[in-house]
Amino acid sequence: MQSEQLVRELKKILSPDKVLYEKLDLLSYSYDSSFKARNNRYIPDAVVLPTSTQEVSEVMKFAYKHEIPVTPRGAGSGETCGALAVKGGIVMDLAAWDTIEEVDTENMQVQLRPGVVHAKLNEHLAQYGLFFPPDPGSSKMCTVGGMVANNSSGLRAVKYGTTEQYVLGLEVVLPDGKVITTGGVKSRAIKNVSGMNLTKLFIGSEGTLGVVTKIRLRLWPKPKARGILMAVYDDLENAPKTVLDVYKSGILPSGIEILDSSAIKAVNEYKPEINLPDAEAILLFELDGNPASVEWEGNEVARIAKNRAIKVEWSTDPKRMAELWQGRSVTATAAARVRPDGSRVFAGEDISVPLNKVTESLRRIKEIGKKYGIGVVNYGHIGDGNVHTAPVINPEDSAEVELANKLVDEIHRTAIELGGSTTGEHGIGAVRSQYAREEHGEALDVMYIIKKALDPKGIMNPGKLLPEREEQ
Ligand SMILES: Cc1cc2nc3c(=O)[nH]c(=O)nc-3n(C[C@H](O)[C@H](O)[C@H](O)COP(=O)(O)OP(=O)(O)OC[C@H]3O[C@@H](n4cnc5c(N)ncnc54)[C@H](O)[C@@H]3O)c2cc1C
């Protein structure tokens, strides 16, 4: 269908102000935070801004009938081109549909629409002493709909897990416009094993199976106390050993972060006043809970860490905690500035490896960087093996871009070889599906079957998650 006709038809379904088609508007939907989007523009034919299930359903029925691709979009903070119309068609922007419909304090749950921004949800829940624990670094911009679609999490996944642990049910508009409720149409139950777990099928499916239009989340009581411990190492090997020592002692910190020597150097160059100790690695433990248990656990972790670290500091004083955490909080920005003419490549940035392979993965990434002559800054969530790598190149130099692509490919393959995964948080989108067969084997064929059953015309976010050649 020609773009002009598409826009005319969409304006019959939605009010005209909910259909965008001007060049400049479309251009602002042509990128996300990925490296691939930096060098490629994916401009949709039209953008729609529905704010009701009925509107989403009508758009889907129309798109299904005419076989027009539809790409759901939250805040566009994804790192994988997930929310980009790589096959053209319609982008469905759900960010403006941001109603928190009900906080059910007696049942410790909340019902909301997909565009609610993560940080705003937790700000709202604070008055009830409740919170939604997953904590992506993009909290101030990403939507809960995007988090469900990507099964997002953050540094506190060590203790609190990922989004999937909190989703009790969803309303989903299927590619043909049909509306379903998962988790039970009347249910407010927290435990529920009735029927096939369709909720989990949609979580992490990256908008390829339907549009999430309502979300029911389980909430947790907000911890009343917090403490930070920093441990400094002159031998990288000792950092993961400490992590294991702490787990063996029966303590589960809410977060355990690592900065290796490359990240320490980057932070000190970016903000010399932070003055991190010159070392092979720094670990940061976050402990939370009630004040007495946090105090006891912090002292215990400090005692354990002293066995292997050259320096340990523990604090529950808010000012000192902020200072101890400062290095970690600027790492991503510092990584992007290690070269005056450089820019961080957001690709291969998110591998996940078994706990006992973290050190090996960090060493191997360093070697791969040397092989291609590209500086790589390493940091990440060591508590669950999620390693963040930040190659820094001049993105205007095509030779460097080509080398970076090779480097990133080797990083992904290293993760699989070490028994891990190509992505622990950011997902597959249009940038990692080439590893799907290697990662999933015959299970990939089952994914194709599910995709075909729910989206027989292949209109729902095509070109994502599944390798394209095999998709149809
Ligand atoms: C600085 C920065 C830090 C980040 N830190 C983290 C982190 O710590 N942990 C982490 O997990 N991620 C992180 N991310 C990645 C990203 O923010 C998350 O994946 C986030 O959940 C995406 O939400 P979004 O609203 O921006 O979704 P978008 O980027 O708009 O979309 C992401 C995917 O979800 C689909 N989608 C969106 N809404 C819906 C819906 N309602 N129904 C169906 N499909 C939908 C899209 O089609 C797309 O495939 C970070 C990104 C940045 C830029």
pLDDT digits (tens, 9 = 90+) for 279-312: 999 999 999 999 999 999 999 999 999 999 999 9
- How far lies 240's CA from each of 153, 292, 350, 360, in Å? 21, 27, 18, 11
268 vs 166, 233, 276, 277, CA distance in Å?
38, 16, 6, 9
388, amino acid identity: H
Q: Ligand 1 centre and the CA of 141: distance in Å? A: 9
The Cα angle at residue 204 between residues 143 and 406, in degrees rounded to 5: 100
- Residue whose tokens read 């508007």: 25
Phi, psi dihedrals of residue 401, rounded to the nearest 5°: -60, -40
Looking at the chain, the whole-number percentage of residues with pLDDT higher than 90 is 93
Please tell me the distance between residue 165's alpha carbon and the centre of ligand 1 in angstroms. Answer: 17
162 CA closest ligand 1 atom index: 11
Q: Which atom of ligand 1 is nearest to the CA of 79?
A: 15
For residue 472, what pLDDT is reported? 46
Atom 36 of ligand 1: nearest residue by CA position: 146
User: What pLDDT, in 10s, does the model give residues 128-170?
Assistant: 999 999 999 999 999 999 999 999 999 999 999 999 999 999 9
pLDDT at 188 over 70: yes
| Mode of pairing for the β-strands spanning 90-93 and 70-73 | parallel
Choose which residue among 81, 142, 346, 459 to substitute to test ligand 1 binding: the one with the highest number of ligand atoms within 8 A of its C-beta.
142
pTM over 0.75: yes
Residue 248's pLDDT is 97
Rounded to the nearest whole angstrom, what is the distance from the C-alpha of residue 77 to the centroid of ligand 1? 5
Alpha helices in 273-330 (DSSP H): 291-305, 318-329
Best residue for ligand 1 mutational test, from 116, 150, 172 (most atoms within 8 Å of Cβ): 150
Q: What is the CATH number of domain 3-93?
A: 3.30.43.10
CATH code for the structural domain at 225-333: 3.30.70.2190
**Lateral strand order in the sheet of 19-20:** 19-20, 46-48, 90-93, 70-73
Cα 151 to ligand 1 centre (Å) = 9
Q: What is the mean pLDDT of the chain?
A: 95
Q: Residue-wise over 315-330: b if at least 16 C-beta within 10 A, else e?
A: bbeeeebeebbbbbeb
277 to each of 222, 272, 274, 328, how far by Cα in Å?
A: 33, 11, 9, 13
Ligand 1 — pocket residues by CB below 6 A?
Answer: 32-33, 71-79, 82-83, 94, 114, 136-138, 142-143, 145-147, 149-150, 152-154, 206-207, 211-212, 425-426, 461, 464
Does domain 338-417 match CATH 3.30.70.2740? yes
Q: Which pLDDT does position 469 carry in this prediction?
A: 63
Asked whether the predicted pLDDT for residue 470 surpasses 80, the reply is: no
Residue of 444, 455, 69, 162 whose CA lies nearest to 465: 444
Domain boundaries defined on the chain: 3-93, 100-221, 225-333, 338-417, 433-470
Task: Name the band, by pLDDT with cuts 50, 70 and 90, for residue 342.
Answer: confident
Which tens digits make up the pLDDT trace of 66-110? 999 999 999 999 999 999 999 999 999 999 999 999 999 999 999
- Asked if CATH classification 3.30.465.10 holds for the domain at 100-221, the reply, yes or no, is yes
- pLDDT tens-digit map of 432-447: 999 999 999 999 999 9
- Whether the pLDDT of residue 1 is over 80: the answer is no
How far apart CA 208 and CA 224 sit, in angstroms, is 39
Which DSSP helix (H) or strand (E) runs through 215?
strand 211-218
What spacing in Å lies between the alpha carbon of 349 and ligand 1's midpoint? 14
Average pLDDT over residues 174-182: 98
Q: Compute the residue count for the chain.
A: 472
Q: Closest ligand 1 atom, CA of 427?
A: 19
| Residue 267 clears pLDDT 80, i.e. is over it | yes
Tokens (6 digits) for 451: 């995709």
CA-143 nearest atom, ligand 1? 25
Q: Do 3-93 and 100-221 have matching folds?
A: no
